[in-house]
Amino acid sequence: MKPKVLVTGADGFIGSHLVESLLEAGYSVRAFCLYNSQGNCGWIDTLSKEIKSNIEIHLGDIRDYQSVLEGVKGCEFLFHLAALIAIPYSYKSPQSYVDTNITGTLNILNAAKELGIKKLIHTSTSETYGTAKYVPINEEHPLAGQSPYAATKIGADQLALSYWRSFSTPISILRPFNTYGPRQSNRAVIPTIISQIASGKKELSLGSITPTRDFNFVKDTCDAFIKVAESDLTIGKILNSASNFEISIRETALLISKLMNTSLEIVCEEERLRPEDSEVERLYGDNKLIKELTNWEPRFGGLNGFEEGLKETIKWFTYLDNLKFYNPNKYAI
């Protein structure tokens, strides 16, 4: 039996997929989900009864240290994914991003230090790089907080590294590039495109379509988390999980439209645009380091891999029981 692990943010998009992947890999999993009076566990609630029966649920709040400490007790590995991630909402409520992304991370770090966990894998984001100054973006690329969200993630990353340097807390930082797949929030561009097409809309409402992204299918991102956790070479390191493939938002929309056998007009809406200096215009990641240290390889890399990942995502979103979770007529921030 592999060790017991804790996944914070297990009720979210990537977190729920990581819980599944860890169970598949033979780990005992405790899922840290945000407390609510209904006892809901987000996307964990949509998993099969067989899968859920193997998950230990811990309802709590990442912003409360006692809640975090109780969640970490008895676990050897800690995957910290809990965060506020919607960039547009970070313009409206930056304090909540500081409280969750920075203070929440501090609570995780202190619990990991106090309880002597074997390894902490902290989740970063490619948004910490800002618009690429060179490509592909490696881990030495300068950081730029072009949104309050990105700024809080930079702060959380640096806080995590400081615990490695100051207290030898065994920390690895995984920096995923633009993860997509089933169960992703409609605030992200790929679900926005798919759900609008699936609902029969003839005009596709988007923000800026010129930025490029390095999209990664969620199964690859989860595999990267596990590979990083299992390698002793990754302690004290920041590692990009990237497909090493770049495509614009416009090209992505056209590709999805083709895969869904439809054609429609793209309309750029003002409310969906980021402030000019806040938009990250180009993201294209270098994945050499994670490959060297873990032997991780994206199974959905390149254009062909991207198409395969999109097909799986489209299939999930177009199933009516799943599409009902989304409102394609409303801009989600």
Mark whether 45 and 70 lie in a shared domain.
yes
CA distances (Å), 86 to each of 223, 283, 286, in order? 23, 17, 24
List the domain range (segments joined by +) for residue 101: 4-181+216-244+286-294
Mark whether 153 and 29 lie in a shared domain.
yes
pLDDT tens digits for 100-114? 999 999 999 999 999
Separation between Cα atoms, residue 145 and residue 136, nearest integer Å:
19
Q: How far apart are the first and last CA of the chain?
A: 41
Mark whether 154 and 109 lie in a shared domain.
yes
Is residue 257 domain-resident?
yes
Mark whether 116 and 196 lie in a shared domain.
no
| pLDDT greater than 80 at residue 264 | yes
pLDDT of residue 324: 87
Query: Average pLDDT of 261-275?
Result: 92
Is residue 333 domain-resident?
no
Mark whether 132 and 276 lie in a shared domain.
no
Reported as a pLDDT band with limits 50, 70 and 90, residue 320 is confident
Mark whether 170 and 308 lie in a shared domain.
no
| pLDDT greater than 80 at residue 333 | no
- What value does the mean pLDDT of the chain take? 96
pLDDT of residue 191: 96
**Closest to 169 measured CA to CA, from 126, 209, 129, 114:** 114
Secondary structure (DSSP) of 212-230: EE--EEHHHHHHHHHHHHH
Query: Average pLDDT of 16-35?
Result: 98
Mark whether 229 and 252 lie in a shared domain.
no
pLDDT of residue 304: 97
Six-digit token pair at 37? 């009076």
Q: What is the 3-state secondary structure (H, E, C) of 245-260?
A: CCEEHHHHHHHHHHHC
Q: If DSSP codes are grouped into helix, strand and coil, which group holds residue 284?
A: coil
Query: Average pLDDT of 243-269?
Result: 95
Count of domains in the chain? 2
Mark whether 237 and 254 lie in a shared domain.
no
pLDDT tens digits for 158-179? 999 999 999 999 999 999 999 9
| pLDDT greater than 80 at residue 1 | no
Is residue 202 domain-resident?
yes
Lowest mean pLDDT among 76-90, 119-133, 316-330: 316-330
- Report the share of the chain in percent with pLDDT over 70: 100
Mark whether 220 and 205 lie in a shared domain.
no
The CATH number linked to 251 is 3.90.25.10
List CB contacts of 83: < 8 A, sequence separation 6 or more.
9, 100, 101, 104, 123, 153, 156
List CB contacts of 205: < 8 A, sequence separation 6 or more.
192, 196, 267, 269, 272, 331
Mark whether 20 and 135 lie in a shared domain.
yes
Mark whether 259 and 137 lie in a shared domain.
no
pLDDT of residue 142: 98
Is residue 328 domain-resident?
no
pLDDT tens digits for 181-204? 999 999 899 999 999 999 998 899
Q: If DSSP codes are grouped into helix, strand and coil, which group holds residue 121?
A: strand
Mark whether 261 and 136 lie in a shared domain.
no
